[in-house]
Each structure stands twice: as C-alpha cells, then as structure tokens.
Amino acid sequence: MRAVLLGTAAGGGLPQWNCACANCRAARQGTIAPRAQDCLAISVDGHGWYLLNASPDIRAQILSCPALAAGPGPRDTPVRGVLLTDGELDHTLGLIQLKEAAGLRVWAPEAVLNTLPAREIVGRYAGWEWLSPSTGAPDIDGLRISTLPVSDKRPKYAAGSPAEGPWVVAYRISDPVTGSALVYAPCLAGWPPGFDEFCAGASHVLLDGSFFAPDEMSTATDTAVGSRAQLAMGHLPMSGTGGSLDRIRRAESGTRWLYTHINNTNPVLDPRSPEFAEMSAAGAGLARDGTELRV
C-alpha cells in the first residue's frame, strides 16, 4: 500500500493568510516549511487512488503529486473516491473542486452525509455515490476500510441539525494480502475508548497534532481564546497528562506515529524548538507535505 501526505496543516494552512504569528512569519520567510491543509491519498496498486478528506487546497495538491496526474485519456483520472473523517470545511470544500469528475464515491459518517453543503452543490454537476461506512466496512480496490467513532463535535454550519453522531471518525486502512495497516485520525477530541486497539499492529498512525498545549492559541496569537474554547474545537493537545504524547509513550513499539493536521500556532513546526525535541523523545514525528509512506 502507498500513502502520500498531500497536506499536513490544520485549517488555513501554514502560513495562514490572516495570521502573523511566529510560525506564519517564519514560513513566509522560508525558515520553516510551509504546509497545505490536511489531506492523504492512498492506493494499493499505484493506479487507483482514494483521498482521505478533500481540502480547499486539493487542486494544487493533486497537481503536485505525479501519481495523481490525469491520463492516459483526456478525462481519465486515477482518483476514484474520497473518505471523509468529518464535515469540517477544511476537510470538505475540496469536493466542490472535484465536481468535474464523474462517478466518484464518497464515504462519510451518516450525520455528515445528511448535512454536507458540498453534497447538494456537487449533485448539480456530477452523479456521485454517497456512502456511509457505518453500513458495513467497505473494501475498495483490495483495501479493507474500518472506522472508529472518535467525536460528536459537529461543524458550525450543522449546529441546529437534528442528525445524531458520530460526526467524526478515524479510519484504519488495511491490506489483507500483506497484513499491513495505516490509521488516519486527524481530529481527536480526546483519546476515545478502543483507540489503542484500533491502532494496534498498524505500521503508521497519522494523528491529530493541532495543538501542543491546551492554551496555545491565546499565547501564540495574543487572542482571547482560552483553554476551554480551544478544547471545544475538538482537538486533543499533544502535551500534558492524558495528552497524545503521553499515550504514545505508553504505546506498543513497532508503530510509527506521525502528526498531521498541525495548527499554524503549534511550536513543533519549528524543529529547533524544545516542543519538537519533546515530541521526538516521545517517539513521534512530523512528516512534510509530499511524503510518501510505503505501508
């Protein structure tokens, strides 16, 4: 199985257009690497590819990845479908840019399918198949897909929806021939029950790295965002008791833990920072945009 990290930043990317925090300034100056918004591409054979989330940067991400290039026919594309972890705009707006593609299949939690604005918009352009993994673990092009509900945090546009959760899931993509597996969990409100078992035996886990500390946004951007408001965004911080680094330190060996969905305020983006050193010492890492994993 091949997996390409098309983007590894949280909503807004790095640098964020309306932000002049230390990391955004450094990215503009070229002292730390810029990052597109979170998106992953997977394939079992290198011919048919599936996107995990569809970021607003999807056009540039596809054009920058040779494996996703159109052809050989004038309208042929190796992109076969999309698996959404949630309904947030930074994970779904890219669907609208894919509206020219015929016959795509899109999987998402049932609550997301029932409220997703892009579904109605795209439906006026292309006939896609909209599916929920809750109806049964799908097998796509030789890959086995399983899901774990991880959060009921709904997007703001769905605040008044009567649809019941889960609103956010993690995916485990397995190759039944080789036995290898990858877990993709870019949004974790906490460390949900069963998540350790869900990750067990996976060679790679791509994990929510939005924030290093629970009060990060207030200290990095001099805003009024407090720790409670930040936690309400649905992202488990990396540091502190019960943080994801604490969990990784206690996890079984043999799994490569990589952070994705990294917010522009997160100090681990600077490889010279003490936070980056703490992350590395815990056995986790960051992958740059464009990194290909052989799973």
Q: Which domains does the chain have, with CATH numbers?
A: 2-287 (3.60.15.10)
More confident residue, 135 or 9: 9
Average per-residue pLDDT in the chain? 92
Q: How confident is the model over 71-115, as pLDDT tens digits?
A: 999 989 999 999 999 999 999 999 999 999 989 999 999 999 999
pLDDT confidence of residue 137? 54
pLDDT 10s digits, 217-276: 766 655 555 555 556 677 999 998 889 999 999 887 789 999 999 999 999 999 999 999
How much is the pLDDT for 117?
A: 95
pLDDT confidence of residue 222: 54
The closest alpha carbon to 262, from 28, 33, 30, 29, belongs to 33
Give tens-digit pLDDT for 123-176.
999 899 999 986 555 688 889 999 999 999 999 999 989 988 899 999 999 998
- pLDDT(35) > 70: yes
pLDDT at 252: 74
Q: Is 19 exposed, middle or buried (0-12, 13-18, 19+ CB in 10 A)?
A: middle
**Between residues 18 and 216, the one the model is more confident about:** 18
Res 223: pLDDT: 56
pLDDT at 62: 98
CA–CA dist 43, 154 (Å, integer):
29
